[in-house]
Structure 1
Amino acid sequence: MLRRLSIVLFAAPALVVGLSGPTSAAAETTTETAKNVVDTYLDIVPSCDGGPIYRVTTTTNTVQHVTTTGRGGEHTTFTVTGKVSLVPLDSTLGLPSYAGRLTVRGGFNGNGRVVNATSTYNVTLKGSDGSKATYHENRHFNTRPNGTLHFVFRCH
Structure 2
Amino acid sequence: MASIAVCPGSFDPVTYGHLDIITRGSKVFDKVIVAVLHNRNKTPLFEVEERVKLLQEVTAHLENVEIDSFNGLLVDYVKQKKASTIIRGLRAVSDFEYEMQAASINRKLDPEVETFFMMTNNQFSYLSSSIVKEVAKYGANVSDIVPDVVEAALRTKYKDLK
Classify the TM-score, shorter chain: under 0.3
Name whichever structure is richer in strand by fraction.
Answer: 1
Give the structure, 1 or 2, with the largest relative contact order (CA under 8 Å, sep 6 or more).
2
TM-score w.r.t. the length of structure 2 is 0.26
Higher CA-based Rg: 1
TM-score w.r.t. the length of structure 1 is 0.27
Name whichever structure is richer in helix by fraction.
Answer: 2
